[in-house]
A = this chain, B = another copy of it.
Amino acid sequence: MPDRNRRITLAARPEGPPRATDFELVEAPVPRPGPGQLLSRTIYLSLDPYMRGRMNQSVGYAPTVDIGGVMVGGTVARVVESNLGGYQAGDFILCSNGWQDYGLSDGTGVRKLDPAAAPISTAVGVLGMPGHTAYVGLLDIGQPQPGETVVVSAASGAVGAVVGQIARIKGCRVVGVAGAREKCDYVTRELGFDACVSRFDEAFPDALRAACPDGIDVYFENAGGAVFEAVLPLLNTHARIPICGRIANYNQTEPPPGPNLVPRVMGLTLVRRLTFRGFIIFDHMDREPDFLRDVGAWIRSGELVYKEDVVDGLEQAVPAFQGLLQGKNFGKLLVRVSDDPTR
């Protein structure tokens, strides 16, 4: 066991896309757990788009990271030393160490993982926050009915892939929007979506329209920007739009140029009786048991599959995160910070 704890901290608040110099890799002694605490070593660090918001000064739905503070993030880790009842050295846990080798915890938000039940990496992916987000956003907010058309942006991503597969299982026509051609192929061939349209296509709005001959009943919004604008005219009466993320807008430093389309969006909201609803998963923790039961069963039956994009080494977290915001990952993005002894 190394005696140093590498940590990636926030060096400066980014303007626009985060630069390498907005982060700093620092070393500190490995901390010792106090009474009621446990020390764990990070195995997998989850990288997710929401982290971009935590780098800003502006107040969102969660505290921002302080300058000099360790970047936050969900992690799969192994207990090194425990002064906390119920945990002992060697246990695999879901915790929030953030972007560092080691972390302390008093047990808040920690869950023990059974490597025999599912690969431990899934606890921050398909069986973790991204999967839970997909489940609640689609089923509780989108309320898809059999035969309806569901469109999912960022369709090959950690959330989108689960949204679309659940919609397929529920009997919907499912249309994905993704970037690279290989992602679109994956979405239709491996995930079983009915169609997938590339947002890189010059004729993207027309292609989306062609893929949705009966309009759109549920649009699961992960994208923002041009995808949102292409979806808008296709929305059916009484369509539901769960707002999960707006990755196209996260790096924006100021509003895009006009015209101002708010009146158009709100006018359509009125005449088509649309429902736009933003949500974050922390408001819906009561649904976690249902989510784990249903998605766990679909994974075991092979009805729902998942893909992980694993990069090796904490020092790769920064470029991997920069790529995530540009859609360069292919599947749920994870940093393997230390060896996974279960694989």
Contacts and interface: CB of A to CB of B under 8 A. Distances in A.
A257 B260 contact: yes
Interface string A236-264: 01100001111001001011111111111
B263 A249 contact: yes
Q: Which among A221, A260, A261, A269 has the greatest number of chain B C-beta atoms within 10 A?
A: A260
Contacts of A254: 259
B265 A262 contact: yes
A260 B263 contact: no
Nearest to A279: B273
A267 interface: yes
Contacts of A203: none
A267 B283 contact: no
A314 to B, nearest CB: 29
A278 B271 contact: yes
B260 A261 contact: yes
Given A254-B259, A260-B260, A267-B246, A283 B273 contact: yes
A228 interface: yes
A259 B255 contact: yes
Contact of A224 (B221, B243, B245, B266): B266
A73 interface: no
A266 B221 contact: yes
A238 B283 CA distance: 10
B278 A274 contact: yes
A172 B266 CA distance: 26
A19 to B, nearest CB: 22
Nearest to A263: B249
Contacts of A263: 224-225, 246, 249, 252, 255-256
B228 A266 contact: yes
A277 interface: yes
A230 to B, nearest CB: 13
Contact of A270 (B246, B262, B273, B275): B246
B255 A261 contact: yes
Given A61-B272, A243-B270, A261 B262 contact: yes
A53 interface: yes
Interface in A276-306: 276-280, 283
Nearest to A245: B270
Contacts of A266: 221, 224, 228, 243, 246, 249, 276, 278
A341 interface: no
A86 interface: no
Contacts of A262: 228, 260-262, 265
Contacts of A269: 243, 276-278
Which 8 pairs show the lowest CB-CB distances between chains A and B?
A: A258-B258, A255-B259, A269-B278, A270-B278, A60-B271, A249-B263, A276-B276, A275-B277
5 contacts: A256-B263, A258-B259, A261-B262, A269-B277, A273-B278
